[in-house]
Structure 1
Amino acid sequence: MKRILFLLIFLPAFGWSQNLIVSGKVSDVNNAIPGANIIEKGTSNGTTSDFNGNFEISVSSNNAVLVFSFIGYTSQEITVNKQSSINVVLQEDTEALETVVVQGFSGVIGKARKRTGSIQTTPESVTALNAEGIESAGITDISSFSTLVPNLKFNSAQAIGLNFITVRGIPQVRGGDAPLAFVIDGVTIPDPSLLSQELYDLALVEVVKGPQGALYGKNAIGGAVNIYTKDPTNKASNRIKLGMGNGGSFQTQFISSGAIAKDKVFYRFSSQYKNFDGLLTNDILNENVDFMKDINIRGQIKANLSNRITLSATYQHFKLDGGATYYSVNPTGFEGEFPGGILNPNPKDGNNIIASDVLGTSDMINNYGNLKVDFKLGKVKLQSITSLNKVERSTFGDLDFIDLDIFTQGEEAITKTFNQEIRINNTNSDTNFDWSFGGFYQKIEKDIYQNGTEGVDAEFGPAEYDVADFINETKTIALFGFADYKLSDKLTASAGFRYDIDKFNQEDFLFVTKSDRDNNEFQPKISLSYEPSKNVLFYANYGRGYRNGGFNADATDLFNRSFDDETSDNYEFGFKTTTWENRFIFNGSIFSSKLDNQQQYILDLNTFIAGVYNYKETKVFGFELDTRARLSNYLDVFASFGISDAEIIDGGTTGGTNGNTTDNSNYNGNKVPFVPVSTFGIGLESSFNITDDLKFNGFLNLDRTGKTYWHESNRTEHTTDAYALLNARMGFSFKNWRLDVWGKNLTDKQYYQEFSPGEFVGSPDDVAWRGQPLAIGTSLALKF
C-alpha cells in the first residue's frame, strides 16, 4: 500500500513540463457556453469547454494563439502572451443564427467517462441536459428527469428518502442500494435516500447506462447519475424566484455569486424553501397526507491559489419534512374484522382509498461537505477529493393501513459517510493516448432502529415491540484506472478497471449478534468505438457491475440472515448519428445482461422483519432509441423508446428457520418484479424571440410506463397496465425577468408507484402507493 501511495503522489512529476497551462471560461453576454471549441492555432491541440463553460489547455509557448469558436457565434483569436487565465465573451453571429441547427441535443456536453465531451461522441448510452435544457424542461429532481430517459423509472413510496429506481431491468431493493451510482460534482454519494432531494441551480444532469463499476465503483451496476451544480463566478450575479401552485404549493429561491477577490476567490450561495400542503386525502382522517416542506442551502467557495493550484469547497444542508405510510386499500374489504377485498392494481376512481387511522410523518436531514484540490502539473493533473456526509431519517405511521387501532411502525436511521479519492488525469489533448487512474477509500456507518405497536384492537391487547436495532459498517479501498487509445483517426479502443476491497460488519443489539464478511471484486470495462464520419459513431462495450451484499436483521422463512453480492456482466452495441445538416439526431443501443444473485426485498408480516434475498440467476435483454429533430428554428420534436425483458432464470431457494424454506425456482421463466417492460416518451420543445427583449420557451412531454409486474408470480391481479403522464411548461423571458407556467399529470391520471400483494407477505389485503395527481403552478424569477 505504501508503494501505491508513493506512485499516486509522485508519478505526476514525470509529466512535468514547461508548457503553459491556460484556463478560463467561455460565455456570451448572459450565460456560460458549454461545448465551445478552443484550438491552439496551427496545431491539432484543442479542448472543449465544459457544462459550466470552463476550459483548460496546455499550450506549447507563451506566444501561442488560441481560437475560440461555437455554432452561432463569431470566432475569436487571442494570443496567450504569458496569461494563465483567459475569459472570453463570444458575440452572436447574426448570419449563422439564420441556419437551422440542433443546438439543444448534439451540443450537450456531459461527463459520462469523467471527462468533458459531447454526448454524441461518447461511446456510451447517455442522456444529458445542460443548464438551458434543465430550465426549459423544468427539471427539479431525479423523478422529473427520468421521464426523458429510456429504460429508466424512478418511483418513491412509504416515506421521504425511500426510492425505487429501475434501470435496464435492474430494480432497486427497498431501502437498499440503488442500481445507479449517484454523483454530485464528481463526488459519489452512497446513501440512495439522497436521490429524493430537490435539484436546483444546476449546470448538468446526466444519466449514463450500463455497468459503470470501472469508473464509478460499486453499486453502479446499471449506470450512473451525474449532477453538476453551477460554478462560482467572477462576475457578480443574483437571482430570486417565487412560485406557487395548487395544493398550497409555495416556493422561494435566492442565488448569489461573485468574486470575493477578483480573479482569485469566488463564491456561490444557493438557497431554496418549498412548502406543499398536499393533494391526496385520507378519507378517514379528512386530512391531506402527501404534504412536504423543504429547506435547502448550499455554499461554494473556489480559490485560485496559484497558476497551478485550485481549491474548492462545498457545504450543503437540507431538511425535508413530509407525509408517510399513506398506502391505499380496497374499501370493499371493510366488512369483517380485517379487510378481505382485493385491490385492483389498475386504479380507477373509487376503487382505492387512503383509510389509515394514523397520520404518517417522516423527515430527512442531510449535512454534506466536500473539499477539492487540483494540482496542475504540466500535462497531468492531480486531484484530491475529500467528502463527509451525514443523513438522519425518521418515519412514523400506520402499518395496517385501515381504520383500526392495530399496528403502527417507526424507523430511525443515521448514515455517516467519509470519502477520500485521489485521481491523476492526463491533460495533454494533443496525443492519441488518454488516461486516468487513482485510489479511493470510503467508510459508511449506518445505524438503524425499527419498532412498532400493537393497538387496542389487536388480539393480545396494546403492546410495543422492536423489529430491528443494528449498526452496519462498510469499509472500502479501491484502485481504478481508465485509458483510451486512438488506433486510427476513426477507431478508438478503451479499457478500464476497478478493484474493490470491501469489509462489512454488523452489530445487532436486538438479537445480540456480531457478523462480518469480506469481499474483493474486480470490475473491468472494455470498449471499442468506430467513427466512419464526423456524424456517425458505432460502439461496442463490455462491463461488469457489482452491488454489495449485507446482513438482514434476522432469518425468516422468506430470507436468510445474510444476502449475497450481486454482479452483472453486460454487453452492448450502439450507434449515434447526426444528419440533415445537424437537424436530425438518431441514437440507439441493444444490450444483454446476465445477473448473478440479483437482490430482491420482502416484508415478512408474520415476523414484522424486512429482508433481502437473492435470485440465483436472471437475464435482461433490451434496446433503446433516442431521437430529436429540429423541424424549424422554432420547434424541436424528440422521442425515446426502451424495452427491458428481465427474466428469472433460476430463482433459487432462500429462508431457513425451523427447516422451512422458500423455493423461488417456482418462478423460473417469469418476469422480474418492479421492472416496466417498456418506456416511451415523446415531446415538443420550442424556443424563439418574440421581440429583441421578449423570448418564448415551451416544453411538452408525454411519458408512458409499460406493464409492470409487482410480484414474481406475474399474476394478472398483481400487474399494472401501461399508463401515460402528460407534462407541460411555458416560459417567457423579458430582459432580466422570467415567468414560467407549468403542469404535471395534466390528464389527472391515477397510477401506482408501488403495489404489495398481501397474500405473499402475510397481510390480509393488498396495499398500494398512489402517484401524484394533477399539479399546476407558476413562478417568477429576476436576475440582477
Structure 2
Amino acid sequence: MPSYSFAGKAVKKGECCCEGALKKTDKSVTEIAMKNLTRISAAIIAANCSAIAMHSQVATAQEQLILEEVVVTARKRAESLQEVPIAITAFTENTIDRAGIERPQDFIGLTPNVTIVDSANAGDTQVTIRGITSTRDAEGTFAYVVDGVLVTNPNGFNQELFDVQQIEVLKGPQGATYGRNAVSGAIIVTTKKPSEEFEGYVKAGMGSDSLVKGSAVVSGPLTENLSGRIALSQRESDGQFTNEYTGQDDVVDFFEDQSIRGRLIWDASDVLSFDLQGSYSKVESGAINFNAIFALPDAAANFGSPDLYKNVNDHDFRFLFNVPGENEQETSSLSLKADYEMDNSIITAVFAYDNLEEYLLSDGTSAAFGLYSYDFGAAAGPGSALTGPTVGQAQNACSQSYNENIGSLNEQAPFYAIPGAVPGMAADFGIAPFYGLNALLPPYTQTTCDGYQYQQRDQESTSFEIRIASKDTDQLSWMGGFYYAQIDREVAVSYGADLGDGFFGRKPYVEGRTDLAFWDDFSTDVIALFGSLDYDINDQHSVSLAARYDEEDREVSNKVPNVPSSNNFGGGAPINPAYDGSFTDSIPDRSEEFSQFQPKLSWTWTPVDEASIYASYGVGFRSGGFNSLGSAALVQNEFGSLGTQPQNLRDEYDKEVSTSFELGAKTEWLDNRLRVNAAVFHTEVEDSQFFNFLAGGFGILRVVTNIDEVTLQGAEVDFEYLLTQSFSFYGSVGITDSEIDKNDNRPYTEGNEMPLTPDMTGNLGFQWVGEVMQDVDMFVRLDWQYIGETWFSTVQDNVTNNGFTDVSGLYQGIGQAFGDVTQTPAGPGIPAGGILGFGQSNYDKGQRDAYDLLNVRVGIEGEAWSVTFWGDNILDEDYLEEIIPAPEFGGYFVHPAKGESYGLDVVYRF
C-alpha cells in the first residue's frame, strides 16, 4: 500500500487523514484521483475517515488503560524497570501516597523476601533480604542510597520518609555497583526535586496512641537558574504500652521525631549543574522494651511451674521497670553533587558528610544472676539469722527494693521471691538451716537488683565519589569511577549499679556506678575503583559486566578507663576483662585490612517487546571488624564449662562474602494491563556475620561471630493487574529455603535455618479509585501482608546447658561461709546429693509463629486537597517483633509488635 503524508506528517496505514491537503506519494495514483474526484467519492472518503477516526478514539481509550511505566536508577542511570536484569520492587510517588508509606517498615512489608525487625532502639533495625540479615554492631548488608549518596551508617536507615518521589528495593548482591556492604541488595530513595514553579503542601494527621504528625513543603524557583525546596516533618506518639510500676503510659514505646531537609539545584550553565542538600533529624523514644521467658523443661517439671518452659508466642507482656528506657538520636547530613555534561559523556562528582549521635539508657538484665543481690549483713529468711559485714550500697539498695516490691515480684510468673528474705542468699525450704536460691528475679525489674545498661553509637563520616558515564547510546553504555570514605565510629556498652537515686551523666563510665564497660573508637578508610559495560549484541540479546574493588583499612583503640569495678560482688575487679587487674596495664590498638573484588555479569534475552529473560552472577561483601577487646576472655571465664557456649569466639570477626546466581523473567500481558515479574536465586554465603547476645553475672555482652557456610535459595513472584481504569489488583510471594551448612561457633546448630529468615512472605491487595462528584475522587486501598514462621538465632530446637544448669557451686559456696551445706538433704528442684540446678534448656518453643496483617486506607481527594482515613493491623494481630535467645541465660528476651492503630490525615496543596 502506498504511504501518505498528511499536512506534512507521515501517516501509516489505518491513521486518519481527513483534514488538510491529501497527497498520494505515488504519482500515477495521484493523477487518477485528481481526475475522478467527484462529490460522491468525496462523501465516500469522508465516511471512511469518520469510521477510521471513531476506531482511533476507541483504540486510544484502550491504549490509555495501561500500567504506569516505572523508571528506576538501579544501575546509576535511568532505565525502565522491565529492562533491568535485577529483581526490583519499586514504589512510585502515587503508591507511596496511597499506601501511606512513611517509615521503612511500610514499604518493606510490601516487598517479597524482605523483612525488618525494629525493636531495641530507634537506630537499631535488622533488615533481611533473601536470608541475608543486617547484624547489630556490624556493618549493614545492603547499600542505602538517598538521592545518589551512599549512607555509610547502618543506624541512619530507620528514619522518616517524607517528600519522597520513589523507593527502589534491589535484591541480590549489588557490590559491583554500590560497593562494600551490598551483600544482600540495595535500597534507593529518591526525594522530590525543587520545582520549576512555586508550589507546596501542608499535611496534618492524628490517630490512636495520642499520635500527632505533620509535614510541610515549599518549593520553587529562587532565581532564573536556581531553585530550592524545603521539607519539614514531625511525629509524636505515646505508644501502646504502659509501665505498670510507675503507671505511666508514655514511657515505654513512645516516639518523637523532628526532621528537616533542604535542597538547592543550580544550573550554572547549559552543561554544569549543582545539587546541594542538607538535613537534620532528632528522635527521642523508648528503648529495650523486652520481657524474659525461660526455656527450662527440667526446672518446669521439678518445680511444677509450666511457665519455666513456655511457648514464646503465648507470652503476656508486662512492663514494670524502675529505669524507664530512653533513646536519643541526632542525625545531620550535607551533600553536594555536580554534573558536567560533555559531548558523549557526563562527569558526576559527589561529596557527602554525615554525623549521627545516639545513646540509650535502660534497665538491666542480670537480677537472676545475683550481680547486686548479695548482702551478708541482712537476715535471710525464716529460721535464719546471718551476721556479717555489709558488702556495698548496691546490695543494700537491692535488698530494700526487693522487699518493698515483693508482692508484684510474685505476680510475675515464673519468677518468685520469699518475703522477708534477701535475694540470692539464704532460704528455709522447711529444712533449716539451708542456704540456696530463694528468689528468681526477672530482668528489667521494678527492683534495683538488675542494675542498668548504657549504650552509645556515634559516627561521623565523609565520602567522595567521582564517575564518568556515557550518554545513552543505541548499543553501548559504560561507566567508571573512584570512591573514598573516611569513617569514625565510637561504640560503648556499659553496665552499672542502680542505687535507686537516679542516673548521673549520659556517658559510658560513671564513677561509683559502672562495673563493666566496653568502649572503643573505630577508624575506617575505604577506597574503591568501579566500572561497568552494557552492550546490546542485537535486538534480542544484551550483556552487562560490572566490577568493583574495595579496600578497607580498619583501626580500633580502647577508651575504657583502667579503674576497678564499683559495686558488683563488692567491686574491685577490672572494669574490662582485657585488663589484667594491676591497674597499670593498657589495652593495645588493633588494625586490620579487608578487601574484595566484586564482579557482576548479566545476560538479557528479549524475544518480544513484552517479555525478557535474564540471568546474572554476582558477588558482594561486607567488611570484617572488631568486637570489644576482652569479649572472648569474658565468655570463656563465665561460660567456659558449659560445653554448649560459643566456641572459637574471638575479639574480631571475618569479612562476609556472598555469591549469588539469579534467573528471572519480566513480562507484560493483556496490552500492558498485567505485569508479572519472577525470579529464582541460589546464594552461598561464607562467614556470615551474626549478632550474639549474652547475659550473665557480668551484666550484658554483645559480640559478632561468623557462621562459616550458609546456603540460601528461593523464588519470588510479583504482579500488578489493571482490571479497569478504576480498579487495580496486585500482590507478591517470596519463598526462601535456608540452611546453616557449617558453624564452628556453635557446631550443634549445623542444619538449622538461617536466623531471621521466614520460609515465606507474601502480600495481596487492591486499589479502587473513582470519581464520586465533579473534580472529587474517592479511593479505597486494602493491603494484606503475611510473614511465615521465623527463628531468630542459630540455636533453634536445640538442647543446651546454661548458667543455671548447676548453681550449687555458687550458692553452696556462699552458704559455706556460715556452715557446710553439702550435707543438706535435697530440697525442691534439687537432685539427690545436694546439687542445686535448673537443668538444661530446650529452645524448641522459641520460633515466632506465622502472622498476617491487614491495613486499610480510604480517602477522598480534590485537585488541591485530600482527606484519608487509615487503619494498620486492623484485626489487631498479636505477634512478636523480635525474639533474642540467650542460651547461656537459659531463655529468651522477647519484644512485642505494634497492635492495631487508626488515624486521619489531611493534605492541602498550593
Judge same fold: TM > 0.5, yes or no.
Answer: yes
Aligned residue in 1 for 2:282:
319
> Relative to 1, partners in 2 of residues 1:470 and 1:233: Cα closer, same or farther, differing over 3 Å?
same
Q: 1:195 aligns with which of 157, 164, 171?
A: 157
Amino acid at match of 1:588: A
Residue identity matched to 1:630 = L
The residue that corresponds to 2:484 in the other structure is 441
Q: Say whether residues 1:623 and 2:715 are aligned partners.
A: yes
CA distance in 1, matches of 2:891, 2:663: 45
Query: Is 1:767 matched up with 2:893?
Result: yes
SS at match of 1:283: coil
The CA deviation string for residues 110-165 of structure 1, in whole angstroms up to 9 with x for no partner, is 11111111211211100001111111111112110001110000111111111111
Question: Which residue among 498, 506, 520 is the counterpart of 2:548?
Answer: 498
Q: Distance in 1 between matches of 2:723 and 2:110?
A: 20
Secondary structure class of the residue paired with 2:97: helix
**2:660 corresponds to:** 570
Does the CA-based 8 Å contact 2:137-2:704 persist in structure 1?
no
Query: Which residue among 266, 272, 290 is the counterpart of 1:303?
Result: 266
How many Å separate the matches in 1 of 2:354 and 2:308? 43
Mapped partners of 1:211, 1:756: distance in 2: 27
CA distance in 1, matches of 2:723, 2:76: 33
The answer (yes or no) to whether the contact 1:331–1:352 under 8 Å persists in 2 is no
Instruction: State how many pairs are aligned.
Output: 673
Distance 1:283 1:98, change over 3 A: farther
What CA deviation, in whole Å up to 9, does each residue of 1:459-507 have, x standing for no partner?
Answer: xxx9522421111111111000011100110100000000011101000
**What residue is the counterpart of 1:353 in the other structure?**
318
1:684-699 to 2 correspondence within 5 Å?
A: 684-699=766-781
Determine which structure has the larger helix proportion and give its number. Answer: 2
CA 1:191–1:345: 2 relative to 1, 3 Å:
farther
Q: Secondary structure at the match of 1:560?
A: coil
Task: Report how far residue 269 of structure 1 moved.
Answer: 0.4
CA apart distance, 1:723: 0.4
Aligned match of 1:560: 650
Q: Secondary structure at the match of 1:517?
A: strand
Would you say the 8 A contact 1:443–1:475 is kept in 2?
A: yes
In structure 2, relative to structure 1, the CA distance for the partners of 1:103 and 1:235 (3 Å cut) is farther
Q: How many angstroms apart in 2 are the aligned matches of 1:441 and 1:679?
A: 37
Distance 2:665 2:178 in 1: 23
Does the C-alpha gap of structure 1 residues 454 and 575 become closer, same or farther in structure 2, counting only changes over 3 Å?
same
Point out the more displaced range, 686-695 or 632-641: 686-695
Q: Is the 8 A contact 1:100 1:632 kept in 2?
A: no
Q: What are the within-5 Å matches in structure 2 for residues 675-714 of structure 1?
A: 675-714=757-796
Residue type of the alignment partner of 2:170: V
CA deviation after TM superposition for structure 1 residue 99, in Å: 2.5
Equivalent position of 1:130 in the other structure: 92
Query: After alignment, is 357-366 or 507-516 more displaced?
Result: 507-516
Picking from 366, 387, 411, the partner of 2:352 is: 387
Q: Which moved more, 1:431-440 or 1:324-333?
A: 324-333
Deviations 1:523-559 (A, max 9, x none): 0000000000010010000000001110000323432
- 1:453 counterpart residue number: 496
| Structure 1 residue 282 corresponds to structure 2 residue 243 | yes
Is 1:330–1:352's contact at 8 Å kept on the other side of the alignment? no
Q: 1:714 offset after TM fit, Å?
A: 2.1
Which amino acid in the other structure matches residue 898 of structure 2?
Q
Deviations 1:383-434 (A, max 9, x none): 100000000001000122233312211112210010100011111x333000
The yes-or-no answer on 1:745 pairing with 2:860 is: no
Contact 2:138 2:625 in 1 (8 A): no
Contact 2:553–2:591 (8 Å) recurs in 1: yes
d(CA) in 2 for partners of 1:295 and 1:194?
15
Please state whether the residue corresponding to 2:82 is helix, strand or coil.
coil
| Residues 131-280 of structure 1 aligned to structure 2 (within 5 Å) | 131-262=93-224, 264-280=225-241
Greater strand fraction, Structure 1 or Structure 2: 1
The amino acid across from 1:412 in the alignment is Q
Equivalent pair of 2:849/2:879 in contact (CA under 8 Å): no
Deviation at 1:456, TM superposition (A): 5.7
Instruction: Give the SS at the match of 1:347.
Output: helix
Letter in 1 for 2:191: T
Amino acid at match of 1:273: Q
Matched residue, 1:468: 518
Query: Cα 1:430–1:757, aligned 2, differ >3 Å: closer, same or farther?
Result: closer
1:366-385 aligned at under 5 Å gives the runs 366-385=331-350
Structure 2: distance between partners of 1:770 and 1:736: 40
The residue identity in structure 2 corresponding to 1:365 is E
Code of the residue aligned with 2:621 in structure 1: it is: Y
Q: CA deviation at 1:102?
A: 6.2
Q: 1:694 to 1:331 in 2, by over 3 A?
A: farther
Deviation at 1:233, TM superposition (A): 1.1
Greater CA radius of gyration, 1 or 2? Answer: 2
1:637 aligns to what? Answer: 729
Structure 2 vs 1, CA of residues 294 and 619 (structure 1 numbering), >3 Å: closer, same or farther? same
Structure 1 unaligned regions, length at least 5: 1-40, 43-92, 654-663
Q: Can you list the C-alpha shifts for 1:204-245, whole angstroms capped at 9, x where unaligned? A: 101010000000111100000000000001100021111100
Matched, 1:734 2:696: no
Q: Which residue of 1 aligns with 2:469?
A: 425
Aligned position for 1:81: none
Does 2:682 match 1:720? Answer: no
Task: Provide the C-alpha distance between the structure 2 equivalents of 1:530 and 1:344, rounded to a whole number of angstroms.
Answer: 53
Question: 2-side partners of 1:316 and 1:446: how far apart?
Answer: 20
Q: Which residue identity is paired with 1:473?
A: S
**For 1:332 and 1:592, how far apart are their aligned partners in 2?**
34
Q: For residue 583 of structure 1, report the CA deviation from its aligned partner.
A: 1.5
Change (3 A) 1:96 1:146: farther
TM-fit CA distance, 1:699: 1.7
Q: Which residue of 2 aligns with 1:551?
A: 626
Deviation, structure 1 residue 581: 1.2
Aligned partner of 2:683 in structure 1 is: 593
Structure 2 match to 1:12? none
Query: Where do 5+ consecutive residues of structure 2 fail to align?
Result: 1-8, 11-55, 365-442, 501-511, 561-577, 579-586, 637-645, 798-843
Structure 1 CA distance for aligned equivalents of residues 245 and 137 of structure 2: 28
Offset of residue 585 of structure 1: 1.3
- Is residue 329–residue 352 contact of structure 1 (8 Å, CA) maintained in 2? no
The 8 Å contact of residues 553 and 609 in structure 1, kept in 2 or not, is answered as no
Q: Deviations 1:81-117 (Å, cap 9, x if unpaired)?
A: xxxxxxxxxxxx996774276655x512211111111
Find the aligned partners of 2:109 and 2:170 in 1 and give their Cα distance.
Answer: 15
Shift in alpha-carbon separation, 1:344–1:676, aligned structure 2, 3 A = farther
Cα distance change of structure 1 residues 240 and 136 upon mapping to structure 2, 3 Å threshold: same
Correspondent of 2:592 among 500, 517, 525: 517
Say which is worse superposed, 462-471 or 640-649, in terms of deviation. 462-471
**What is the rounded CA distance, in whole Å, between the counterparts of 2:85 and 2:873 in structure 1?**
34
Separation of aligned partners in 2, 1:575 and 1:418: 39
Measured on the aligned residues, the alpha-carbon RMSD in Å equals 2.3
Mapping 1:109-120, distance limit 5 Å: 109-120=71-82
Question: 1:27 matched to which residue of 2?
Answer: none
How many angstroms apart in 1 are the aligned matches of 2:854 and 2:318? 24
Percent identity at matched positions?
26
For residues 12-51 of structure 1, the aligned pairs below 5 Å read: none
Change (3 A) 1:94 1:195: farther
- Secondary structure of the equivalent of 1:713? coil
